[in-house]
Each structure stands twice: as C-alpha cells, then as structure tokens.
Chains A and B, each alone.
Chain A
Amino acid sequence: MSSRDEILGAVRANLPKLERPLPQVPMFDAAAPASLLALFKESLQDMGGDFLDASPGEDPLQMIRQRLASTKVVCSATPEVLGNRALSSIRAPRDLADVDIGVVRAAFAVAETGSVCLTQHSLGVNSLGYLPQHLIVLLDPADIVVNLHHAYQRPEFHQGHYAVFHTGPSATADIEGVLIHGAQGVRTLTVVPIVRAANNPTQ
C-alpha cells in the first residue's frame, strides 16, 4: 500500500462522526466607504507603502519618468513606462538581480488592506516583484475592490499559476520589534494611480 493510500485510509477511518456543516460566508461589505481610493491609500500607507499623489495639472506618468531618469537599471512590465532592461531578454529569474526599479501594473487592489494584486501576467517574470530594490505599481482606481471577500471572487485566482498580494514593501521586525523595510524583497513600493489604456484591459 502506498503512503497515499495509508494516509487517506487512516484519515477516513478516523473522521470524527459529528455534524459539521460548511457555513455560508457573507461579503461583509454593507459599510463600504464612499471612496475606495481614499481607504486604499490610507491602508497602503499604514503598511509602509507609498502613494504618488499628482497635484492637479501634474501628469503622474511624467513624475515616474522623472524619477526613473536618474536610475541606472529599470525594468518595466507595463506599456506606459519604458525601462532599459527588456523583459524579453530575461532568461533566468536571477537576471533581474541588478534592477534598481521595477515597474508593474496591478491586476486589482484591495481597499481594506492596502494590497495590490500582481499576477504572472502583470509581472512577466515573477521575480520582478522581488529582486529589484524598489517597485512602482500602476493602479487603475476602478480596479479597487472593497475587501478580501470581494478579492477572492476575482478570476485571477483561477487563471495562471501565480497571484500575489503585495501590501507595502518587504518588511520585518524580527529583531526586538524594530521595523525594517527591505528585509529581503523591495525596499519601497510606490503605487501610482493611472487609468488603464483602452487597449490594456484587465486580463
């Protein structure tokens, strides 16, 4: 008998003979705020993320380009922003190790937690979310859902093999509770509200 059969056999034999129905999970969204963007921004900042606020008249894309102008290695997975390390040239994940700034677009975001969802589709190469020193995330405000109950109804979790919530930058407080950003992943994560182009729909 294989281990699989032994384990499943033991489980089956030992199942507690008790009535334990599966409960219905509500959406818990009755008190959703008027502005999901405002809640998202506050949640993101509480988790150490940055939000790029463009003043009226300012173009957020311009602001990004200005920041990238002085950056040595930029790798972008978005059509809106041009980097100098083409994703198509990446043969192994570690080839992104020297990237200073990565630019990606979020598939969607969650207001409750301040999380952005990145998928293998939005990342191109999964390690783009982790090896650069900094990450810039483009987010269409229309792509914000109120909470995790809504988030897990999205199709991204049934498509592709990888979907991840990033909530601010990499962090740890393993030593005496002192908060560190950039533990092993990105040191900063900046979300920039930019509407999707018409020819770049969600999935």
Chain B
Amino acid sequence: MNGIEKDTQPPLEAERTILHPELAAPPDESPVKNGRRLQHAEGASHPIHPPPEREPQPRGARIRGNHRVDQTEAAERFIASPAHEKMHDERLWDLRGKRDRQMHSIPEWEELRTLASAIKEHTLTHLDQYLEQFEQNARANGVHVHWAKDGEEHNRIVHGVLRDHGAKTLIKSKSMLTEECGFRPYMAAAGIEVIETDLGERIQQLDNEDPSHVVVPAVHKLRGDVAQVFAAHLGTDPMDDDVHHLAEAQRQATRPLILNAQAGMTGCNFAIAETGGITVCTNEGNADLSANVPNLHIASIGIEKVIPRLEHLAVFVRLLSRSALGSPITQYTSHIRGPRAGGEMHMVLVDNGRSARLEQDKFWTSLKCIRCGACMNTCPVYRRSGGLSYGATYSGPIGLIIDPSFNRHKYSALPFSSSLNGSCSNVCPVKINIHEQIAAWRQVMAENHELTLIKKAAMKAAGVLLAHPVLYRAAITSADSALNNLPRFAIYIRLNAWGRHREVPHAPRESFHSWYKRNRSVP
C-alpha cells in the first residue's frame, strides 16, 4: 500500500491509558474470540464500571426560549456528578484511543483524509450539478424525490406521505437531520407514533431527552439510569441494571413494533450521485429493518451528503467507523437505490440552512462533516460536559461551529466553550479546521454585539491597558500590586473566578520589568 511504512506507534506506548483507575473493572462477560476481548461496534477496549452507589443523572442545559444557552452552567452540573462525568470521560477517551489504533494500522491514513477532504470540497463547490444528477438517477430507480427548504417543510412532506398511505406508526433509524427538523415533536402533535429503533435513540426517546452524541446517543447515561427508564416504560425491574438484560428487554419490546409498523424512516450517511442511491451505516441493522419490513421507506437526506461516485464512497466508508468508534466498518453498511419489491420509497432532500452556509467564506467547509463524532470523543471539554450541556442538536466541537448558524443569539456563548486546543481538527476525517472556525465565530459574536457585557467591557479595558506601556507597568510593578490588582480585565468578571477551584499564582518579588531595570541597563 502507498504511504509511510515506518513504525508510527508512539515510542513509549503508555501501558497505562486509564486516568481514573477506580473505574477499572475485572474481566467481564464481554464476548471473546481467539482469546481476544471483542471491541467492535462501540465496544470498550477495556472494561470500566461506575461505582455501585447510584447518582441522579445530571440533566442538560436550561433552555428558555431564545435566551442565550449557558453551556458552562450545565457542564458544571455534569462535573458535579462524578460517577457520570468520569465514566463519560473515560469511555469517550477510550473511543479516541481505539480510533488512534485503527489509524496506526492503515499506512495510507493521512492520504485518505486528504482525499476525503478534497472529494467533499469538490462536491460542495459543484453541489448543484451533483444534486441534480443524484435526483435524476434516484427518480430513474423509481424513487419519489421531494425537496424541503427547512425542517418545517421536511416534517410537512413526510406527514403528507404518511397520510397518503394511511400510516400512523413509523419506525426509524438514527438521523441527526430529523433531530434538526424537530421531527418527533411534530409527529407527536400530528398523531403519528414514531418509534426509534436504535438502542441509544430509543432510550433517549423514552426518557424524553435529546440524543447527546451523534453516534452514541445515550453515552451520558449509566446503566442505572437506563434501568430506571426501562422500568418506567417497559415494565422491567428498576434494580436490574445488567446491560445484557436491558438490551434484550429493548429487543423484545421493540420487535413487535417493527413488525407492525406501517412505515419506516432512515437517515443517510452518503448519497451517491452516480447511482441515485444512499448509503446508511448502523451497527444494529435497524436501518435495514426500517427500510425493508414496512411497505413504505422514507429517507431524510441533508443536501451536503452527496458524493460523486462509488469509488469515493470507499474512502468515506474506510474512514467513518474507524474515526467514530475505532472499528474498521459498521456491522451494517446498506446501499439502497430504490424501493424493495412490493414497496415504495421516498427521499426528502433537506436544505435547512446548508445553502446559506455554503456562502460563508470561513465556515462553508463545515459542510464536509460526515457526522462521525470523532471531534466529540477527543474534545476535553465535551467529555467533561456531556453533550446535553450544549442545548442544541449538535454538540461538541462541530456543534460550536454549526449551531450558531441556526440561531446566532441563542448559541452565541457556545464558541467560548472551548480551550482552542486543536485536537478536534486533527481527528476530523475530512480535515475541517474546526478550532480555527471556533475562533472565527468568536470574532463574529464580538462584532455582532453577542458578547456578554462583562466580557466586552473586560476586553475593552484589557485592550487599553496592554497598549500603554506606562499604564501596564504601573499595573504590575510590585509583587503586591501585581496580585492585588490582577490585570485590570480580570476585575471585571465574576470576582475570584480563578480561585474557586485553584490557588492563585504566587506573588513574585518583582516583575521582570523591575528586575531588568535594577540589574541591566535600560536605555
């Protein structure tokens, strides 16, 4: 294969990768093959277990209409629930580690990323042509193709199709696009019963909570939380938190709903212009059940999902599951070009702000996103905050750069929930410069008066102080004044914010300026 053959494993491969040793669990009942513990799908590479005492599940950000969402407040509540926070952090860090091991096993890894990015950028800069080609081929295969400007129209169209078929029950597989569209609340109001078939999505649906991660929707929940949800809705034993029992309970409860559903809905990972078909990747096979059991299949497709040809699909399928979960491929990779025998298929192509984002100089490349979640897994802020703290459809690094384009004011604080460390951009399989876009959004917020008054005042004061040498030196001249008069901008924010969980820096005898003046000549 092309690429560097040299060993790229870190020289001092840390045997110890677990930060919270108290979570390490003895060898568990996970399936084993050839003496190796299996860790495909989203399986953890080593067993971890929360402490036995149950802790209430921390809930997400407080949403009040169009008010600015306060991510840090919700994050602090997550952090204050240590059993949840540590499991969440350790589990997602493990997925990051699994991703790294896949990367090291593929010599052409960086070349694949470059190809994936280039294919997406080419497609997006020619998007109209590829959309037209896709639609033409889909129609030729017997698919009904609809176009929706926004989420509301998507929901109306789907409702119309269901109504035309007299369908009142709908099973669906995971689709972040449908979350964006507010699909479930709309259908509930319209009297259509929607059943999520993905285990994580189903848990969240039953608990009346949004998914917290694009790939593992209930990653913020501990088994005890799931046991409580299932006890309330499936009639299982609230004290039985054995994961195998819980999964089996959901399988048994959902199976009849699948068999009797009148319609099925899937999302779409990739839409191939060349064939007019879609590719859907799942580990459970629930997209295949949703598409093939009922007579009616509806696929919701974001217009940015188009790629030109099958040969390009190979690049993305090789990168997607490796980046997301650290396994070479999902258990099911389904290629659907048209209705099954005896069935009918509809596609809804959705814009919902994507065409507008295409015009944005600094942000259009966020449309390359293939929703793998690798950025979330590596983000040190996300892992400690939980996805629900962002109060938006998309969380983590990609959320910070997409959500403000849906509602700039409501999500104006999100770009500040980042330390700008840049790990996200490095794990992104399509090379979105996420951390640079986060910084660029900060500038947009500042220029559009979306900073909190405190922040704005602090920055103004800092800008004046730091531009005037005499003022500046006066502020830091002596040890006492250095610490008693923290740089002026620090005074303007919540007092002693630094000191809540940290000691303040020690006072030096004198500043460098003073030392230099005393010991060296100043012209």
Report A's interface with B, CB cutoff 8 A.
2-4, 6-8, 10-16, 18, 20-23, 25-26, 28-31, 43, 45-48, 92-94, 97, 112-115, 120, 126-127, 129-131, 147-149, 151-153, 157-158, 160-186
Contacts and interface: CB of A to CB of B under 8 A. Distances in A.
Contacts of B315: 25
A12 B330 CA distance: 34
Contacts of A131: 289, 293
B335 A183 contact: no
Given A14-B359, A16-B124, A184 B132 contact: no
A126 B340 contact: yes
Given A16-B124, A153-B311, A3 B153 contact: yes
Given A10-B356, A149-B311, A175-B199, A28 B2 contact: yes
B286 to A, nearest CB: 5
Contacts, number: 289
Contact of B43 (A29, A113, A179): A179
B117 to A, nearest CB: 9
A129 B39 CA distance: 23
A158 B246 CA distance: 40
B1 A172 contact: no
A91 B463 CA distance: 75
Given A15-B125, A157-B335, A167-B331, A7 B355 contact: yes
B244 interface: yes
A171 B128 contact: no
Interface of B: 1-2, 28, 30-31, 33-34, 36, 38-44, 48-50, 87, 91, 94, 107-108, 111, 114-115, 118-119, 121-122, 124-128, 131-132, 141-142, 147-149, 153, 197-200, 203, 216-219, 221-223, 226, 243-244, 246-247, 251, 254-255, 258-260, 275, 277, 283-286, 288-289, 291-293, 303, 308, 310-315, 317-318, 327-342, 349, 351, 355-356, 358-359, 361, 364
B465 to A, nearest CB: 40
Contact of A185 (B114, B118, B121, B288): B288
Secondary structure at chain A's binding surface: helix, strand, loop or mixed? loop
B103 to A, nearest CB: 15
Nearest to B357: A14
A194 B359 CA distance: 55
Given A48-B40, A152-B311, 9 more contacts: A11-B128, A16-B359, A22-B122, A29-B1, A31-B1, A97-B259, A152-B314, A168-B40, A185-B286
Contacts of B308: 22
A20 B124 CA distance: 9
A181 B41 CA distance: 10
A21 B114 CA distance: 13
A52 to B, nearest CB: 14
Contacts of B41: 48, 171-173, 179
Contacts of A127: 289, 292-293
9 residue pairs, one from A and one from B, having the closest CB atoms: A185-B285, A177-B44, A179-B43, A14-B359, A161-B338, A173-B42, A10-B355, A174-B200, A171-B41
Given A112-B328, A120-B341, A176-B243, A185 B314 contact: no
